[in-house]
Amino acid sequence: MRKSIATVSLSGSLSEKLTAIAAAGFDGVEIFENDLIAGPLSPEEVRSRTADLGLTIELYQPFRDFEAVPEDLLAGNLRRAEHKFALMERLGADLMLVCSSVSPRAADDDALAAAQLRRLAERAAAHGIRIAYEALAWGRHVETYDHAWRIVKEADHPALGLCLDSFHILSHGGDPRGIEDIPGDKLFFLQLADAPLMAMDVLQWSRHYRCFPGQGGFDVAGLVQHAVRAGYTGPLSLEVFNDVFRQADAGRTAVDALRSLLSLEEAAQTGALPAPVVPSGFAFAELAAADPEPLRGLLGALGFARTGRHTGKPVELWQQGTARILLNAAGADRREGPGLVALGLETPEPGAAVRRAESLLAPVVPRHRRGQEVPLDAVAAPDGTELFFCRTAQRDHADWTDDFAAAPGPPGAAAGLSHIDHVALTQPWHHFDSACLFYRSVLGLRPDESLELADPYGLFRSRAVAGADGGLRIALNVAPGPGDQGARPQHIAFATDDIVATVRRVRAAGVALLPLSDNYYDDLEARHDLDPRTLATLRELGILYDRDEDGEFWHCYTATVGRVFFEIVQRTGGYRGYGARNATVRLAAQRAAEQRGNTARI
Amino acid sequence: MRKSIATVSLSGSLSEKLTAIAAAGFDGVEIFENDLIAGPLSPEEVRSRTADLGLTIELYQPFRDFEAVPEDLLAGNLRRAEHKFALMERLGADLMLVCSSVSPRAADDDALAAAQLRRLAERAAAHGIRIAYEALAWGRHVETYDHAWRIVKEADHPALGLCLDSFHILSHGGDPRGIEDIPGDKLFFLQLADAPLMAMDVLQWSRHYRCFPGQGGFDVAGLVQHAVRAGYTGPLSLEVFNDVFRQADAGRTAVDALRSLLSLEEAAQTGALPAPVVPSGFAFAELAAADPEPLRGLLGALGFARTGRHTGKPVELWQQGTARILLNAAGADRREGPGLVALGLETPEPGAAVRRAESLLAPVVPRHRRGQEVPLDAVAAPDGTELFFCRTAQRDHADWTDDFAAAPGPPGAAAGLSHIDHVALTQPWHHFDSACLFYRSVLGLRPDESLELADPYGLFRSRAVAGADGGLRIALNVAPGPGDQGARPQHIAFATDDIVATVRRVRAAGVALLPLSDNYYDDLEARHDLDPRTLATLRELGILYDRDEDGEFWHCYTATVGRVFFEIVQRTGGYRGYGARNATVRLAAQRAAEQRGNTARI
């Protein structure tokens, strides 16, 4: 199906928006009237600009407060419409959106609404223009699509049809199955938006919190299927009002938007993509550090041993169990210090995983093959983290570890860390919904619910994505304020089967864990009936504790090096979370450590 | 009445919060449990810190999900309470907040709730502690204060009373008059918060959008009056959960909070302040410009004439009608260019106005009296703008213009500007509610409704404050993103009685007005039945147009110089607004002009 987006969904001038929309690969565009009015381009210039960019103008919108008015107002409304028809002819647009009236002057009179819309359609038809009538969820008298359809049916004019909008229908709690009872040739347009499920005034919800399909909680794919079954053949067009997208980079948002539609078409079975290849776990995590020495020391004390050295680059491989860390001394950002730059994902079929990612607009990372280097299948996530699809030590596929020559460091004492349990990626402020959609659609991971974590200087949002079997877990966090963009640390969590033994060993090896206050343990004692010896051990070692109905979670944190820190975790039973209840304590302790270290808070 | 605030209302560590609260001048504090748990200070250290700061710990909170549970759960809940009582003894706190349960295990059984709360009160009393029971608006069974009171009354224990919270009562639509039927000695605590009137899930509303009294839409003062009439003698204590305050500077927020309580006490007639002295208009606006030449040129072309020069500083006085601009060449921020730094306000009693402002915690600006300088009564607004209370050319008061020696510039041709109609101040992101409260309480201005204006790169919020007679109007705007903090321009709007004549004259004098697109005028033509000659004139001259039920508004804008631009406005009839409908067009044109001028968008 053709893919389109309303200009209001993006940031910038009309010219910037059109450029971003075309660059992302959309077929068409809805021109939002205010974007035209506020800009310097004439309608003719917009027409030629869109044509040059290969975009079709699918819709001109919105025309408001037209129908079911007294005759004296109707004349003015028709006059207003004639002005807009003339404008649309200059623009080369032949479909106009008419929203159900919100005017206090509008009558609750379907026959009158139908008669006046018919007059409008007659006028439109004279210009070769058609009218798509849409029920706003907050319309004065017409607020459901089936009500709008009764009026359109009664008006009975070939230039008058319906516009369906997934937000207006699903936010209102309407049953979209009735769409299938509408003749397909009367479905003139289909606008799509998702939204997080919130109990709030629908107008505010619509104006500020809409998001792209797959980012919210509505079954937008189901609605598309009903429209397609009804015979709808027009474009799938996104119309999203979102406070964050209004501020974000238009080019990035447009790519995110098209990814959303591609993923939606897969879900609605109106388009196909290469099947997702869900990673089973982490092959490695790569840290960039211009000065790798502090991380070498920390990894060594955590029981990691250096086992290899890249044959062509200044990259070391450190390993413990199947937890592998690459230490890359090239190209690190010296200002912010060491940071997490890439993840290796164990994947059944790396080539298929890359094809999936490419089809969903993920940029493929150029593979610099040099000499004996093993080809790597890699794409970039929206936050710039590179994702390498790997098969470690499998005979059926080139092995990335072949690029590393054995270079054992001093023999360390392993501390019982077995693998990477999860990584936590702090997303720039504008990219949170985009990141969730990326990991969900590209890697086929399932998002958990979105949480709020209280940092001393604002609320973090956090949402985890994970494979069905829990083999791959990524926590996506967004820092409270744009001032903190990218500056808050990421982290890597290592799993152990015996956190007490592990912590005793790493402490003996010199690891300073994040100090926690006695108050935390007093509260733990009040909340949970832990046996006194266990509690004393937790208190002694600085281990945090959580439980849910399925199991228990024990965890602790190292100090932060540059933009990265490590977590040690033990899961017992079927505990599925990440210790969110302890996040406030951890965040406060980290802020306090930063302040003690005179690290400027940004 | 004593004044207190919950630590959760502010940003930072517990230590930072306590310091800010004491510095602002509060008497007491509610310790929010998470702030204690997450911090490194022991309860004993918090106790001595608060004592050293002169603060009383008024309340420890919250204790959750206690009452109306099966007996097996009760034992655990009492055990939990005993831990908290022990903690409170260390802390020196003798009042604990117990919120009505939200647990699915709680029974809808008032007798059971009363019996268990009585047991809790008995245990508390043994530690010298009292329990304040509060109905959460989203409590599972108990969600109104009168329901909580029935339970407390039935429990009938001297260590058990009520905590009233204005948010929980007013968000629920409860009638606060019933408070007067509760014995005053059973009202153990009064928590105060305001909130903007929003139709949204009450839990989300409470957690993210609470604000200080006077910043939202609730009649908090009325509620306080009911509690006082009932015999309440405890503190007025703020408990505000607000996403912005969580990120803002704690010291500033604490001052804002105490200002809110002082103003609330005045409204509730439980405390008195010097009466507000409402300014009648603008005496002057002062622009700082290290290089005043571009502004000299622009003011001259706008028909202003230089009429004076300060006898002690590099400040020029430019005048047209009673519109006066001070051009200050000292101390301007060279990086950002010219900006608005001070406002002179025509005030019946300048001394009384300063006393009012001081009593509401506005910092008094030191008066550098030198030689013949006239004493100035000045305070600083939250955004740093200095406000001078003046009586221009009145015999009953020293006249600020006496500091200026006549220094007429070349005789200019006046353009018909008569006075300053309004000024628009762009507030830093974190200060919006604070600024509204300041201008409302200190100057006695009335706030209009809050508007959202679509800039190409995000939504502006805008709220005007004005005197009852419209003599003084200030528009407070906040830019979309923190990245734009302080960087968006402010402006001064001059009034004319004949905008067409004025614009013709200033254009002839070389003023380049902000260019608007033809599309704007096409839309104006579609929307309004303006006569063709008028429309042609507007289009020719680049004048914007708006109307409301009371009158019409005509306006246009100069180019931006540094961080300031000028507007020319004409009001006809009783038009009270600021042309908000045209803001999108103006903002887009300004962004386009910035981009043409290669001004980097921040």
Q: Which of B252, B522, B529 to mutate to test the interface with A (most CBs of A within 10 A)?
A: B522
Nearest-CB residue to A522 (from B83, B459, B522)? B83
The tokens describing B320, both together, are: 């047209």
- Chain B CB contacts of A61 under 8 Å are none
B-chain residue closest to A516, CA distance: B40
* pLDDT attached to residue B438: 95
Q: What is the pLDDT of residues A554-566, one digit of tens each?
A: 999 999 998 899 9
* Structural contact between residues B242 and B211, judged by C-beta atoms closer than 8 angstroms: yes
Q: Is A76 an interface residue toward B (CB < 8 Å)?
A: yes
A-chain residue closest to B586, CA distance: A38
A478 backbone dihedrals φ, ψ, rounded to 5°: -125, 130
Confidence of residue B585 (pLDDT cuts 50, 70, 90): very high
Cβ <8 Å between B517 and A84: no
* pLDDT attached to residue A367: 66
Q: What is the pLDDT of residues A313-362, one digit of tens each?
A: 899 999 999 999 999 998 655 556 789 999 999 999 999 999 999 999 99
DSSP B23: H
Q: Answer yes or no: is pLDDT of B602 > 80.
A: no
Residue, of A487 and A382, whose pLDDT is higher:
A382
**Mean pLDDT on A489-497:** 95
* pLDDT attached to residue B399: 86
Q: Is B33 an interface residue toward A (CB < 8 Å)?
A: yes
Q: What is the pLDDT of residues B434-466, one digit of tens each?
A: 899 999 999 999 998 889 888 888 888 899 999
- Which B-chain residues 455-514 have CB contacts (< 8 A) with chain A? 456-459, 480-483
**Mean pLDDT on A564-580:** 95
B-chain residue closest to A246, CA distance: B458
- Chain A CB contacts of B452 under 8 Å are 207
Q: Which of A96, A519, A524, A546 to mutate to test the interface with B (most CBs of B within 10 A)?
A: A519
* pLDDT attached to residue B205: 87
Q: What is the pLDDT of residues A451-471, one digit of tens each?
A: 888 888 888 889 999 998 878
Task: Please tell me the distance in Å from A407's CA to the nearest CA on chain B.
Answer: 43
Confidence of residue B600 (pLDDT cuts 50, 70, 90): very low
Q: What is the pLDDT of residues B548-558, one digit of tens each?
A: 999 999 999 99
Least confident of A155-164, A214-223, A255-264, B369-378: B369-378
Residue B570 bridge partners (DSSP): B554
Q: Distance from first CA to last CA of chain A, Å, rounded?
A: 46
DSSP symbols for B340-372: EEEEEEE-S-HHHHHHHHHHTTPPBPP----TT
Q: The dihedral of CA A70, A73, A75, A80: what is its sign?
A: negative
Q: Is A199 an interface residue toward B (CB < 8 Å)?
A: yes
A452 backbone dihedrals φ, ψ, rounded to 5°: -115, 130
* pLDDT attached to residue A595: 84
Q: What is the mean pLDDT of chain B?
A: 92
- Chain B CB contacts of A518 under 8 Å are 42
Task: Please tell me the distance in Å from A455's CA to the nearest CA on chain B.
Answer: 8
Q: Is A394 exposed, middle or buried (0-12, 13-18, 19+ CB in 10 A)?
A: exposed
Q: Answer yes or no: is pLDDT of A512 > 80.
A: yes
- Chain A CB contacts of B596 under 8 Å are none
> What distance in Å separates the CA atoms of residue B324 and residue B307, rounded to the nearest whole number?
10
Q: The dihedral of CA B495, B499, B503, B505: what is its sign?
A: negative
> What distance in Å separates the CA atoms of residue B519 and residue B525, rounded to the nearest whole number?
10
Confidence of residue B483 (pLDDT cuts 50, 70, 90): low
Q: Which of B46, B80, B247, B591 to mutate to test the interface with A (most CBs of A within 10 A)?
A: B247
Which H or E element spans position B307? strand B305-310
Q: Is B388 an interface residue toward A (CB < 8 Å)?
A: no
Nearest-CB residue to A517 (from B40, B80, B587)? B40
Task: Please tell me the distance in Å from A199's CA to the nearest CA on chain B.
Answer: 5
B63: three-class secondary structure by DSSP: strand
Cβ <8 Å between A37 and B517: yes
Nearest-CB residue to B11 (from A80, A207, A456)? A456
Highest mean pLDDT pick, A338-347, B84-93, B461-470, B584-593: B84-93
* pLDDT attached to residue A470: 77
Cβ <8 Å between B201 and A200: yes
Question: Which residues are CB-neighbours of A27 under 8 A, at least 6 positions away?
Answer: A2, A3, A4, A55, A56, A235
DSSP A560: P
Which H or E element spans position A215? none
A369: three-class secondary structure by DSSP: coil
B204 backbone dihedrals φ, ψ, rounded to 5°: -65, -40
* Structural contact between residues A431 and A383, judged by C-beta atoms closer than 8 angstroms: yes
Cβ <8 Å between A520 and B37: yes
Residue, of B433 and B565, whose pLDDT is higher:
B565
Q: Is B19 an interface residue toward A (CB < 8 Å)?
A: no
Nearest-CB residue to A80 (from B34, B457, B527)? B527
Nearest-CB residue to A519 (from B36, B246, B592)? B36
* Structural contact between residues B311 and B391, judged by C-beta atoms closer than 8 angstroms: no
> What distance in Å separates the CA atoms of residue A403 and residue A375, rounded to the nearest whole number?
10
Task: Please tell me the distance in Å from A84's CA to the nearest CA on chain B.
Answer: 7
Cβ <8 Å between B457 and A519: no
A-chain residue closest to B485, CA distance: A483
* pLDDT attached to residue B485: 47
B-chain residue closest to A248, CA distance: B457
A56 backbone dihedrals φ, ψ, rounded to 5°: -95, 140
Beta-carbon count within 10 A of A126 CB: 11
- Chain B CB contacts of A594 under 8 Å are none
Q: Is B241 an interface residue toward A (CB < 8 Å)?
A: no
> What distance in Å separates the CA atoms of residue A130 and residue A126, rounded to the nearest whole number?
10
Nearest-CB residue to A523 (from B16, B37, B518)? B37
* Structural contact between residues A202 and A165, judged by C-beta atoms closer than 8 angstroms: no
Cβ <8 Å between B529 and A79: yes
CA angle, corner B459, sides to B457 and B461, nearest 5? Answer: 140
Q: Answer yes or no: is pLDDT of A248 > 50.
A: yes
Q: What is the dihedral of CA B285, B289, B294, B295, to 10 degrees?
A: 10
Q: Is B600 an interface residue toward A (CB < 8 Å)?
A: no
Cβ <8 Å between B458 and A247: yes
- Whole-prediction pTM: 0.93
- Which B-chain residues 246-285 have CB contacts (< 8 A) with chain A? 246-247
Q: Answer yes or no: is pLDDT of B599 > 80.
A: no
Q: Which of A15, A18, A37 to mutate to test the interface with B (most CBs of B within 10 A)?
A: A37
A-chain residue closest to B17, CA distance: A456
The percentage of residues in chain B with a pLDDT greater than 90, rounded to a whole number, is 78
Q: Is A44 an interface residue toward B (CB < 8 Å)?
A: no
Task: Please tell me the distance in Å from A197's CA to the nearest CA on chain B.
Answer: 11
Q: Is A394 an interface residue toward B (CB < 8 Å)?
A: no
Q: What is the pLDDT of residues A381-401, one digit of tens each?
A: 988 899 999 999 888 888 899
Kindly provide the b/e burial profile for residues B295-315, where b requires at least 16 CB atoms within 10 angstroms of the residue's own CB: bbebbbbbbbbbbbbbeebeb
Residue A339 bridge partners (DSSP): A288
Cβ <8 Å between B38 and A520: yes
Q: What is the pLDDT of residues A186-240, one digit of tens each?
A: 999 999 999 988 888 888 888 888 999 999 999 999 999 999 999 999 999 999 9
